[in-house]
């Protein structure tokens, strides 16, 4: 999928189960460590997550951003969980104090918090995975074109399932999108070895095989009418800083 998104970027363009009552979201906090206090920041974050975020709905994983404008930043990811869970968010004694004294004290003040809705109908998790590296393709929708853009993803899903049935990936939409940040939807690919980033999976050819000759060229034209552009990021899972390990059961992402 990396290759098709790269092509889409040439023209202006976490993973969960759902029920009938509520959909599930991930809460992602992007934090920048004080460059002079990275050791203290990581030490405090590790201890905090092991103590307060090692189990339950608010268990946390930590990622480190490898490239782009956010390089070097940390992503603290919690979920999946329904919105109603936030009303009963646990406030263990000492949690806030520990965070403020041992984590926030060594971080820059420019945090960013986002919430992402999992699109199970467009995603595919055919097997259990161990999270190691994530490749994110983040898209910016034109105003009032989000619904049409998501509809176009149906054919991407069809191609992925037919031609890449063993690949695990998730589609997520921003619950609070902004016309300024350009982060409306993200396609997250899960991979283990960096060599995957250099592979050519001939997505355009396989898309045509699935949807008809010339269909990928038509898709590109349609995609250009609904998107402004996009960006790519690679996240590295930091198990050493996280409250839980990287194992994800496929049945929990259907």
* d(C-alpha 220, C-alpha 4), whole Å: 10
- Domains of the chain, by residue range, sit at 2-253
Which H or E run includes 158? helix 146-163
Give the model's pLDDT for residue 89: 81
Digit-by-digit pLDDT tens for the chain (254 residues) are 554 544 444 443 333 333 456 899 999 999 999 999 999 999 999 999 999 999 988 999 999 999 999 999 999 999 899 999 999 886 778 999 999 999 999 999 999 999 999 999 999 999 999 999 999 999 999 999 999 999 999 999 999 999 999 999 999 999 999 988 899 999 999 999 999 999 999 999 999 999 999 999 999 999 999 999 999 999 999 999 999 999 998 888 87
Residue whose structure tokens are 């994110």: 136
Give the model's pLDDT for residue 20: 52
CATH architecture classification, 2-253: 2-Layer Sandwich (3.30)
- Residue 186: which of 172, 168, 167, 197 has the closest Cα? 172
* d(C-alpha 248, C-alpha 17), whole Å: 12
Give the model's pLDDT for residue 10: 40
Give the model's pLDDT for residue 253: 82
Give the model's pLDDT for residue 21: 63
pTM for the full predicted model? 0.89
Retrieve residue 203's tokens.
């997505």
């Amino acid at each position: 999928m990396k290759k098709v998104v790269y092509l889409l970027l040439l023209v202006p363009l976490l993973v969960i189960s759902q029920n009938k009552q509520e959909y599930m979201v991930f809460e992602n906090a992007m934090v920048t460590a004080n460059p002079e206090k990275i050791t203290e920041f990581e030490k405090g974050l590790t201890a905090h997550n092991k103590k307060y975020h090692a189990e339950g709905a608010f268990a946390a994983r930590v990622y480190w951003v490898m490239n782009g404008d956010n390089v070097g930043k940390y992503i603290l990811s919690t979920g999946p969980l329904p919105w109603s869970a936030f009303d009963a968010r646990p406030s263990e004694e000492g949690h806030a104090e520990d965070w403020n004294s041992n984590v926030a004290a060594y971080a820059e003040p420019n945090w960013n918090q986002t919430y992402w809705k999992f699109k199970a109908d467009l995603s595919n998790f055919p097997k259990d995975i161990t999270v190691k590296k994530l490749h994110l393709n983040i898209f910016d929708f034109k105003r009032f074109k989000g619904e049409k853009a998501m509809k176009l993803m149906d054919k991407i899903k069809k191609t992925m399932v037919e031609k890449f049935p063993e690949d695990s990936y998730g589609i997520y939409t921003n619950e609070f999108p902004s016309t300024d940040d350009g982060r409306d939807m993200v396609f997250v690919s899960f991979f283990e070895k960096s060599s995957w980033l250099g592979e050519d999976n001939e997505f355009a050819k396989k898309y045509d095989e699935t949807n008809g000759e010339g269909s990928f060229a038509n898709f590109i034209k349609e995609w250009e009418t609904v998107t402004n552009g996009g960006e790519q990021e690679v996240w590295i899972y930091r198990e050493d800083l996280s409250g839980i390990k990287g194992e994800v059961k496929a049945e929990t992402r259907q």
